[in-house]
Structure 1
């Protein structure tokens, strides 16, 4: 079973932010896939899930995908593609903010990592570079949440 969600990555410019799309395996806690974009969209989510399935080699036997009820998670574009792939979806209960605890916990851990820039990121490239560096951390590091990408 995979859990996925989208979180904000702040900018140094007030009111500007980027979106971290992240899919994790619930059982191993492995980050299966992640991307950073300037917008939330069902199309971007669909592409991320497809890439994750290919990379993990489970295209023909997909796991269940759990998420909250955000717009990209419930978009027709994503639902239609997952139905074509035979991938089941699981959603949080409506208006229950803590029903996707795996992804929310991971986001909190990532954002409390000492290397997380407290004043925000300079650019979209800076956010992506930070995630690339963080995703290669070892389990002995102070920020183990982002290991395994």
Structure 2
């Protein structure tokens, strides 16, 4: 650890992602949000993929944990439902820097599917606005259960509505 401020390295400046979608299935964004459970300190994780052009929800799943295996399942499900194949036009999947998004097994799955990965800049929360705004809209709806979901099935049913 460096204790001298004068010897610290200059932070690396990174450009903001500039993906432009002119049609559906060119750029998808995805993220994971936490849904409250009734037990204090417990959460369910909503995995969500959104098409940047149409703002359509391409695929979603609710699980109890964040896991690269669940991420792989989600991207496979999304690719199948949208007819994405490795030899099609390139698809960009943009996400933040979470561990499920950067897991080696998940990135290998993207490569097999012919999907290019893109990541937000570190510690910049507004580089993934499409997913984040959808999460806020969902959680601020009057019917959102602020006291939490009883169990995983209840969370899945609510998200499916």
TM-score above 0.5: yes
Q: How big is the shift at 1:50?
A: 0.5
Q: For residue 121 of structure 1, what is the aligned residue in structure 2?
A: 149
State the partner residue of 1:145.
Answer: none
Q: Is residue 76 of structure 1 aligned with residue 98 of structure 2? A: no
Q: Shift in Å at residue 87 of structure 1? A: 0.7
2:125 is the alignment partner of 1:92? no
Aligned partner of 1:32 in structure 2 is 58
> Distance between the aligned counterparts of 1:97 and 1:31, measured in 2?
20
Aligned to 1:112: 140
Per the normalisation by structure 1, the TM-score is 0.86
Q: Which residue of 1 is the match for residue 24 of structure 2?
A: none
* Structure 1 unmatched ranges of 5 or more: 134-149
Task: Give the aligned CA root-mean-square deviation in angstroms.
Answer: 0.9
In the alignment, the residues of structure 1 paired with residue 125 and residue 92 of structure 2 have an alpha-carbon distance, to the nearest angstrom, of: 20
Moved over 4 A (4+): none
Q: CA deviation at 1:26?
A: 0.6
Question: Which structure has the larger Rg over C-alpha atoms?
Answer: 2
Residue by residue over 1:24-71, the C-alpha shift from the partner in whole angstroms, topping out at 9 and shown as x without a partner, is 001100000000001101111011001100011122425210000000
Cα offset for 1:130? 0.3
Gaps of 5+ in 2: 1-26
Alignment partner of 2:42 out of 4, 12, 16: 16
Residue 98 of structure 1 and its aligned partner are, at CA, apart by 1.7
The aligned runs of 1:48-59 (5 Å cut-off) are: 48-59=74-85
The secondary structure found in structure 1 opposite 2:154 is helix
